[in-house]
Structure 1
Amino acid sequence: MQDGKITLAHIDESVQKVLDVGHMGNVDTPEQALSDFADQYPHAEVIGVDISPSQPQWIPPNLKFEMDDITQPWTYAPNSFDYIHMRWLIGAIPDWNALFREVFQTLKPGGIFESKESSCIIQSDDGTVPYGSAMDQWGRVFIEAGRKFGRSFQPLEENLQVLAMEAAGFVNIKVYNMKTSLGPWPADPKHKEIGQYARLALEQDIEGFIMYMWTTVLGWTREEIAVYAAHLRRELRSPQYHAYYPQRIVIGYKP
C-alpha cells in the first residue's frame, strides 16, 4: 500500500473487471491486499494470477486466483478488463514490450494499467552503503545473473515500464518514484515502520531469494551463500547503514 491506498490509479465505482498479476501489496501480504481491493469494489470481478499457486483460506466472493505464465500469449478476451495491475516482475520477464502489448490488447478502451517495480540495487544517499559491502554486492550479482539468462534486473535503471507502455500505445503515462528504506533508520515514523518491515522480509529469507539463481546460474556454492547471507544480515541490522532501494509506479491509459 502507498499512504494507505491499495493502488495509486484513480478507479471509480464503475469498474467491472480487474486483473492483478503478481498480487497487490506492500506491507500487507499480497493476498490480503488483493482481498481488501475486492472488498472495496464488491461489484467488480477480480482475478489474481501468478505462476505459483496462491489460495488463502477465505476470500471475497468476487475474487478468484488463477495459475498462469504471463510471459506466454494471453488467453483473456481482448478489451475485457477495466484495470490491470502488475508488481514485482523484476528478473522474470524476457520481453517487456511483448508483455505490455498483451496488457494493452486485454484492456478495454479507457482502461487503466498500473505497473509497480523495484530496483535490485541497494544504495544510500550519504555513502553509508560502500562499494564492496554485502548490500552493494546484492544488486551487482543479480544484474550479472540476469545478463547470463536473458532477464533484466534493472527495470527502473533501463526505464522498461515507461518504454514498454509507450511502445504498446498507452497514453497519459504518469510516473511515481519512491524509496523503500531497509531498516528503522529514517526519522520519519512512516518510513521507519516501512523500513522495519522491508528489512524483516529480506532478512528472513535471503537464501530463498538467491539460492537457485546464484548456485545454478553463477556457480556459487552453498557455503559461499551462507557466508554472504551472514554478512548481509549483519549489515541489515547495523544502524550505520542508511540503505534503501528505489521503487517506481507507472500508470498508463488505453485510448
Structure 2
Amino acid sequence: MSGSEETKPTTTGLLPASHWKSLNVEEDDHSDASSFASSNASSTTSLRDSILEYRKILGRTYHHELGDAENWTPNDDKHTESMELVHYLTLVAMKNKLFHAPLNTDKLKKVLDVGTGTGHWAIDFGDQYPNVEVTGTDITPIQPAWTPPNVSWEIDDANQDWTWPENTFDFIHVRYLMGCIRNWKKFYQDAFRCLKPGGWLEHHESSSSWYSDTEGVGPDHTVAEDSPVGQTVKIFQSSGERIGRTFRVFEDELQQKLMKEVGFVDIGFKNYDVPIGSWPEDPEQKQLGILGGEALLGDLEGYMLYVLTKVEGWSEDEARTFTAHVRAQLRKPGFNPYFKRRAVWGRKPE
C-alpha cells in the first residue's frame, strides 16, 4: 500500500528520510542478534493451496491477500524464527503461564486463539489441556502441519465479521495485533458475542514506544523522539494513521477502555517491562533481554521495511539506512532499551 494513496498523517516530530541519509551510522553491523546478546552481556476457509501464493516485497514474503487483509510483518522463515522467540519471551515474562485470566480449566471445552501466528501458544495450550478443543486463526498459514489432535487451524481475517455462532467459546486468547485491526471496538464486540456467558477474553499487546532508564527523558523515561529509536514511535504512529490500523493500543489503553465499553466485567491487567539485550543484572530479566534482543535484532528489517517503504513511501535504500541507525542505537553500550507490554482480561457476564 503506497503512502500516497492514503490520507497524510498528522503526526508531529516525524523527521524525513533524507535526514538519516546525511548521518553516519555509528555501528554498521548487520550481524545476527546472538552477537548482540553476548556483546551487550472473519470469512473462514480451510487451508488450501491458493493461500500459499505469497507476495514478495524487497526480497521478503508477505501473506496472500484474503479480502483486504493486510499485515505489516513478513511470513517467511526469518520472521517466523523471530515470532517463535517472541513466544518464548512471553512465556519467560509470564513465568511459564499461558494465561492470567482465572479460568476454571476443568470446565473448558472450546478455546480460540486469534492471530495465532506460528501457533505455538495454541499448541502449548492444547498439550496442557488435551480435553479442550483449541482453534488457532490467522490470515497466513505458517502454523506447523503436525499438531496435537485437539488443535486445528483456520484461515480467518479478524477484521471481517466473525462467523462463529454466539456463545461458542469458553476462552478467547489474543496476542500482538497492533497495526492489524481496523476497529478494535468491533473486534471486542465480536469476541464478546462469540464467548459463552462466563467466558473470558485475554488480550496481550506491546507498546510502540521505547524506554531507557539511562537515556530516556521525562518521568516515564521515553526515548528522545529525535533519536533513531524515538523516531520509530513517530513512524509507526504515522503509519497507523495512514492505514487506519493503530499501533497505539498500549499507549491509548484501548484494551481496558473498549473491553469495558462492550460489556466485559471483572477486568484485570498486568504490565511488564521487556528489556532488549543482556544488560539487566537480574538473571530472569537478563534472560528476557537476551530473547528480546534475538527476536528483534534477528529480523529488525522485517519489522521495519514494509512500514517504511509501502506505507511511508521511503525508498529501499532510505529504509535500510534508517534501520541501520535504529540497530546501532539499540546495540549502543549503556543505552539499556526496553519496551512495555500489557495483558488485559475480562469476563462476559453470565
Fold-level similarity (TM above 0.5) = yes
Counterpart of 1:52 (choices 140, 145, 163) is 140
Q: Aligned partners of 2:156, 2:253: CA distance in 1, in Å?
A: 26
- Separation (CA, whole Å) in 1 of partners of 2:311 and 2:296: 21
Counterpart position of 1:191: 285
What one-letter code is carried by the residue in structure 2 that aligns with 1:10? P
Question: What RMSD in Å do the two structures reach over aligned CA positions?
Answer: 1.4
What is the aligned partner in structure 2 of residue 41 from structure 1? 129
| Pairs within 5 Å for 1:183-222 | 183-222=277-316
Q: For residue 56 of structure 1, give the secondary structure of its aligned residue in structure 2.
A: coil
The one-letter amino acid of 2:288's match is I
The whole-number CA distance in structure 2 between the counterparts of 1:236 and 1:242 is 8
| Residues 91 and 153 in structure 1, CA contact (< 8 A), matched pair in contact too | yes
Q: Deviations over 1:181-212 (max 9, x none)?
A: 11111111111111111111111222221222
Q: What secondary structure does 1:238 align onto? A: coil
Give the corresponding residue for 1:22: 115
Task: Report the count of equivalent residues.
Answer: 250
Distance 1:132 1:165, change over 3 A: same
Q: Is the partner of 1:215 in helix, strand or coil?
A: helix
TM-aligned CA deviation for residue 53 of structure 1: 0.8
Q: Is the 8 A contact 1:54 1:65 kept in 2?
A: no
Q: Scaled by the length of structure 1, what TM-score is found?
A: 0.93
Larger RCO (alpha carbons 8 Å, 6+ apart): 2
Q: Which residue of 1 aligns with 2:345?
A: 251
1:8-157 → structure 2 map (5 Å cutoff): 8-11=100-103, 12-23=105-116, 30-128=118-216, 129-157=223-251
In the alignment, is the contact (CA less than 8 A) between 1:23 and 1:34 conserved in 2?
yes
1:232 corresponds in structure 2 to 326
CA distance in 1, matches of 2:316, 2:189: 40
- Of all paired residues, the percent bearing the same amino acid is 40
2 CA distance for matches of 1:48 and 1:125? 38
Structure 2 unaligned blocks of 5 or more: 1-90, 217-222
Q: Which amino acid aligns with 2:127?
A: D
CA distance in structure 1 between the aligned counterparts of 2:273 and 2:145, rounded to whole angstroms:
33
Aligned to 2:95: 3
Distance in 2 (CA, whole Å) between partners of 1:134 and 1:38 is: 41
Give me the whole-angstrom Cα distance separating, in 1, the residues matched to 2:116 and 2:275.
21
Relative to the length of structure 2, the TM-score reads 0.69
**Largest Rg, 1 or 2:** 2
Shift of 1:124: 1.5
Q: Matched residue of 2:212: which SS?
A: coil
